[in-house]
Amino acid sequence: MMIGKIKEGKSFGGCVAYNLEREKAEILYAEGIRTTNSKTITQDFNMQRKINSNLKKAVGHIILSWSANDRAKLDSNRMLKDAKEYLDKMNIRNTQLLVVEHLDRNHPHLHIIYNRVNNDGKSIANNNLWKRNIQVTQAITKSNGYYFAAGKENINRGRLIGKDKVKLEIFDAVKSAIRTADSWESLRNQLKYRGVDVQYKYSRNSLQVQGISFSKNGIVFKGSQVDRSLSYAKIDRTLQENSLKLLSNTTEHKSNSITNSPIERAFLENKESTGIDYGKIGVDLASILFSGAGHIANDEVDPNLKRKRKKKKQTLKR
C-alpha cells in the first residue's frame, strides 16, 4: 500500500540536509530550484519564502512509501509518476519541488520537499491535508493494484518516533480494551491504566456526544485519526454488543445452574415417573417435592417423631 506521511517545518536547510546528505540518496526531480548542491537548493527555497514572510512554517515535507510486496512493480520512474499524481490530487501545485529517493530501507520510498509559498507568493493551504492524504494514497493504491495491508500488522514499530509512536500506542491500547469492555466506564478505566485519557466532544447546548479524542503524554488525537474504526459511534456500537454478549452468557449460566439444581432434578424425576406435567396444570413446585417421588418423610429426618405420633394415638384410644 502507498502511504503518505506529512510534516511541516521552518528550516529548509535542515530538511534538505537530512534528505540529501546520505550515501543512498538520489534526486529524481526538481522544479524551480538549482540542484548544484544542498546549499544552492536551500538558497532558492529561502529566496521564494521571503515573498510571504508571514508564513512561519513554509517547509512542506512528505514521505511516500510503498510496501516491500510491491517492489517488483516499482522503479524510480513509476514512483516519480505516482508522486506527481499524488501532489496534483493534494492540490500542491505551482511551487518549488524537490523529490529524493532513498535506497537505505527494505521498502521503496521517496521524500518530497516543497515550498508552501507558491510561485505567486500565496500560501498553499493545509486544511484537511492529512484527511486528503489518506484518501489520495488509497485511491492510487487501488488504481495501481498495489498491495493493501489489512490493519497495522506490517508497521515497523521499532522505527516509529514522536507522534507516530504515541498514535500506535493509543491504537493498541484502545483495540485491546474494547475486546472486553462492556461500557464506557469500563473502557475509560482500562485505558487510564495504560496511560491513555478519553475526551468527549459534545454538541453545542446539549450533552449529546458527537465525537471522541484520546490523549497520551500530552499528545491528542481524534478517534478517527488514530484509526477509522475508532470513531465514537463505532466504539459505542462495539461496547453495546459486548454488553449484550455478557448479559446473554450470564443468563445462560444462570439457566444451566437452575436446571442442574436438586429442586429442578426432583421436579423432572417426578414428572417422568407420573407422566404429569405439573408446570402445565399450575401445581406449585414446593408441593411436588413433598408428594410422591419427590417426598422426603419428616420422620425419616427425625426418628423421635414416630414415637410421638404413636403415643398420641394411644392417648386418643383411652
CATH of the domain at 33: 3.30.930.30
pLDDT at 155: 63
pLDDT at 148: 75
- The mean pLDDT value for 199-210 works out to 87
Mean of pLDDT values over 115-138:
93
Contact 59, 8 (CB under 8 A): yes
Is the distance from CB of 243 to CB of 261 less than 8 angstroms? Answer: no
Confidence band, pLDDT 50/70/90 cuts, at residue 281 = very low
Residue 259 falls inside a structural domain: no
For the chain, percent of residues with pLDDT exceeding 70: 75
Residues 9 and 123 in one domain: yes
260 inside domain: no
Asked if 17 and 138 sit in the same domain, the reply is yes
Total of domains in the chain = 3
Q: Cα 135 vs. chain centroid, distance in angstroms? A: 18
CA distance 174 to 235: 9
Residue 206 confidence (pLDDT): 79
Q: Supply angle C-alpha 180, 183, 188, rounded to 5.
A: 85
Same domain, residue pair 21 and 104? yes
Q: Is residue 120 part of a domain?
A: yes
Tell me the average pLDDT across 61-80: 94
> What is the average per-residue pLDDT within 230-235?
93
The DSSP-derived string for 48-94 is HHGGGTT-S--EEEEEEE--GGGGGG--HHHHHHHHHHHHHHTT--S
Rounded to whole angstroms, the Cα distance separating 120 from 131 reads 26
pLDDT at 247: 80
CA distance 159 to 109: 15
What pLDDT score does 64 carry? 96
Residue 269, pLDDT score: 57
Domain of residue 59 covers 3-149
- Contact 192/140 with Cβ under 8 angstroms? no
What is the C-alpha end-to-end distance of the chain, expressed in Å? 106
Query: How confident is the model at residue 292, as a pLDDT?
Result: 37
Q: Is 150's pLDDT higher than 70?
A: no
**Band of residue 295 on the pLDDT scale cut at 50, 70, 90:** very low
CA 55 – CA 199 distance, rounded (Å) = 31
Confidence of residue 151 (pLDDT cuts 50, 70, 90): low
pLDDT tier for residue 290 given thresholds of 50, 70 and 90:
very low
- Is 300 a residue whose pLDDT tops 60? no
Band of the pLDDT at 275, cuts 50, 70, 90? low
Name residue 207's amino acid.
L
Q: Are 41 and 34 a contacting pair, CB within 8 Å?
A: yes
Query: Do 42 and 96 contact (CB within 8 A), yes or no?
Result: no
Find out whether 196 and 170 touch, Cβ atoms under 8 Å: yes
What is the pLDDT, as a whole number, of residue 261?
A: 54
How much is the pLDDT for 159?
67
Pick the range with the lowest mean pLDDT from 74-88, 109-123, 146-160, 177-191. Answer: 146-160
Residue ending a domain, among 126, 149, 172, is 149
Check: CB of residue 191 under 8 Å from CB of residue 183. Answer: no
Lowest mean pLDDT among 16-30, 143-157, 277-291, 300-314: 277-291
- Angstrom distance (rounded) from CA 223 to CA 277: 57
Domain boundary among 127, 149, 171: 149
pLDDT attached to residue 308: 47
- Same-domain check for residues 208 and 73: no
Q: Check whether residue 135 and residue 31 sit in a common domain.
A: yes
- Position 22 confidence tier, pLDDT thresholds 50, 70, 90: confident
Going through 138-236 in order, the beta strands assigned E by DSSP cover 197-202, 209-216, 219-222
